[in-house]
Copies of this chain bind each other. A is one copy, B any other.
Amino acid sequence: MDLTEHIAAIPLFEGIPNNHVEELTDIVVDQTFQRGQSIFSEGDEATGFYVVASGKIKIYKNSPEGKEQILHIFGPGEAFGEVPMFAGSRFPANADTLEQTRLFFFPRAGFISLIQREPMLAMNMLAALSRRLRMLAALVDNLSLKEVPGRLATYILHITEMGKGADALELDISKGQLASLLGTIPETLSRILAKMGSQGIISVEGKKIAILDRRQLKDLAESGKLPA
């Protein structure tokens, strides 16, 4: 696939006329990163934003003591780092690759100029930011109002509901990263996976999780509590 095609296929640019897609192609910078590299850090001055071409990146915050909270994990076709294009000028969080990752970088000036001439692009960007707000609101809800078992149940249901309601899933991130996404630590996650296993709600084998009792899982996700 050539570059223009690849860019035209990005959801954020859906419905954009060809001449404008070509403008994007003219300004894009194509970059590849190894696993575990930093793309940007909280507080860095932003000069543009990114779209994942392939691979996976995490957006996260760190506490001084070293605990990490992942805000979001982005995969192919998803944009990140747009916030400082529209408000403030610095990134509000860190971004690291989780595996070898190819990124499209769009410099600010060219992009802002285009978004003002192309209403469809503005609408797509508004939709993207709105979805992001929904996700963050859900994360706050999980962190503040649910206990870890409830967060895990919510996560499992969310993943499997995307995948056509299947009863099995394979984690595409490490359990340590999952812990960080759920706002906890690996030890706690490990214990809870074990407990939910012994209660017959799920079965866990390495990165494979199978749902044995969807009803209980739903109860957990809603109530936020693991019954004794």
Q: Which residues of A contact B (CB under 8 A)?
A: 61-65, 67, 69, 71, 82-88, 92-93, 115-117, 119, 122-123, 125-134, 136-141, 143-146, 183, 222-224
Contact = CB atoms under 8 A, between A and B. Distances in A.
Contact of A61 (B62, B115, B129, B140): B140
Contact of A119 (B116, B143, B145, B183): B116
B63 A130 contact: no
A180 to B, nearest CB: 9
Contact of A126 (B64, B129, B139): B129
Given A117-B119, A133-B92, A143 B144 contact: yes
A123 B69 CA distance: 30
7 contacts: A63-B145, A69-B145, A86-B129, A87-B126, A87-B130, A122-B123, A136-B136
Number of copies: 2
Contacts of A122: 115-116, 119, 122-123, 126
B145 A87 contact: no
A125 B87 CA distance: 10
A115 B141 CA distance: 31
A126 B82 CA distance: 10
A127 B86 contact: yes
Contact of A129 (B130, B139, B140): B130
Contact of A83 (B133, B140, B143, B146): B133
A79 B86 CA distance: 16
